[in-house]
């Protein structure tokens, strides 16, 4: 009688990122009628891993994902950049130690849809390189030991406020990894770190406000690693929501468009709801949000999540 045996197999045989094996139990093949070893071999179930394919082999000769692995859209963070490099941890299929595929560039353009200019109103009162209301790098945040988790505050809720889950393609509530505040804060936390997959697209959060032209928000500031996006058409932060995102590789088309028109009195780049504007550089990004000029607590469950 054949005994079942256990073989250690790598979980993601299409990526070098996987680190933990899984246990796969193979059932013994049924005995052949005449004990023919060739018949035994033909009846033995195959795992599709026996064939060694040279690296320079054409795509048609390379192995494909087994049928029981669900297909994932090309823009899903489970497949960060190259076509067949899967991050198993993101897909809930195991673990991998590097979610950015070998050779992938986090500064690769995020999508085919281009960025465009739209009209704004209002007048800025400070030069751009001195305006900490626009450029978050000019605000001196200090780490705090407040809980990196959702918190609840009493009071009213704006049902039209930006939904921070829509920063991500899968609309998840990410792990919170860091907390900080600016000098003389109004809230216990005003800068929040969010866990990300390196290279995953970061998107303009969806809100209930209608700015016209299908626009979600106006880009008040963009450089190589941060974006400030306003949920009104005023070129200031006096009224309405302003979202700050940093720790990303901003799409060069967007940062270039902003620089070209930074001195314009009435033209700024705009983003559509859910439009990607950059990729996470590492395993976290930081966000902050203002409401009519005041930095708020991004952990508030009823307001942002």
Amino acid 110: pLDDT = 83
Task: Identify whether residues 172 and 80 lie together within a single domain.
Answer: no
pTM of the model: 0.69
Average the pLDDT over 56-61 and give the result.
43
Task: Identify whether residues 75 and 213 lie together within a single domain.
Answer: no
Tokens describing residue 98: 């590097």
- Rounded to 5 degrees, φ, ψ at 158 are -90, 105
Higher-scoring residue by pLDDT: 161, 55: 161
* 193 confidence band (pLDDT: 50, 70, 90): very high
Structurally, the chain folds into a number of domains equal to 2
Residue 111, in any domain of the structure = no
Average the pLDDT over 200-227 and give the result.
96
303: pLDDT strictly greater than 80: yes
Average the pLDDT over 69-85 and give the result.
42
Task: Identify whether residues 139 and 239 lie together within a single domain.
Answer: yes
Range with lowest mean pLDDT among 11-20, 127-136, 180-189: 11-20
Higher-scoring residue by pLDDT: 95, 291: 291
For residue 34, what is the DSSP state? S
Range with lowest mean pLDDT among 1-15, 253-267, 277-291: 1-15
Residue 231, in any domain of the structure = yes
What residues contact residue 21 under an 8 Å CB cut-off, 6+ apart? 8, 9, 10, 11
Q: Which domain holds residue 67?
A: 1-104
Amino acid 53: pLDDT = 41
At which of 44, 73, 104 does a domain end?
104
What residues contact residue 9 under an 8 Å CB cut-off, 6+ apart? 21, 22, 24, 47, 49
At which of 35, 69, 104 does a domain end?
104
Task: Identify whether residues 191 and 213 lie together within a single domain.
Answer: yes
Give percent of the chain above pLDDT 70.
Answer: 66
Mean pLDDT (the chain, rounded) = 77
Residue 109, in any domain of the structure = no
């Amino acid at each position: 009688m054949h005994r079942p045996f256990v073989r250690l197999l790598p979980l993601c045989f299409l990526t070098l990122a996987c680190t933990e094996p899984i246990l796969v139990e193979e059932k013994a093949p049924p005995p052949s009628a005449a004990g023919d070893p060739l018949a035994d071999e033909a009846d033995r179930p195959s795992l599709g891993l026996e064939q060694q394919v040279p690296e320079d082999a054409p795509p048609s000769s390379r192995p494909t994902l087994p049928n029981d692995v669900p297909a994932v859209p090309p823009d899903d963070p489970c497949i960060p950049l190259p076509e067949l490099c899967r991050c198993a941890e993101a897909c809930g299929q195991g673990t991998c130690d590097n979610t950015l595929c070998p050779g992938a560039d986090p500064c690769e353009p995020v999508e085919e849809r281009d960025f465009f200019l739209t009209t704004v109103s209002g007048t800025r009162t400070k030069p751009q390189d001195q305006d900490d209301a626009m450029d978050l790098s000019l605000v001196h945040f200090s780490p705090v030991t407040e809980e990196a988790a959702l918190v609840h505050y009493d009071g009213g809720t704006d049902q039209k406020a930006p939904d921070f889950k829509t920063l991500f393609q899968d609309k998840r509530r990410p792990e919170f990894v860091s907390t900080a505040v600016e000098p003389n804060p109004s809230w216990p936390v005003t800068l929040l770190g969010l866990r990300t997959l390196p290279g995953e697209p970061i998107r303009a959060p969806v809100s209930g406000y209608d700015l016209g032209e299908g626009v979600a928000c106006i880009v008040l500031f963009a450089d190589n690693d941060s974006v400030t996006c306003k949920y009104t058409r005023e070129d200031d932060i006096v009224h309405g929501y302003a979202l700050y995102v940093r720790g990303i590789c901003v799409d060069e088309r967007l940062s270039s468009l902003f620089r070209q028109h930074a001195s314009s009195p009435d033209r700024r780049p705009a983003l559509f709801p859910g439009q990607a504007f950059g990729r996470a550089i590492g395993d976290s990004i930081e966000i902050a949000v203002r409401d009519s000029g005041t930095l708020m607590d991004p952990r508030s469950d009823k307001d942002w999540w």
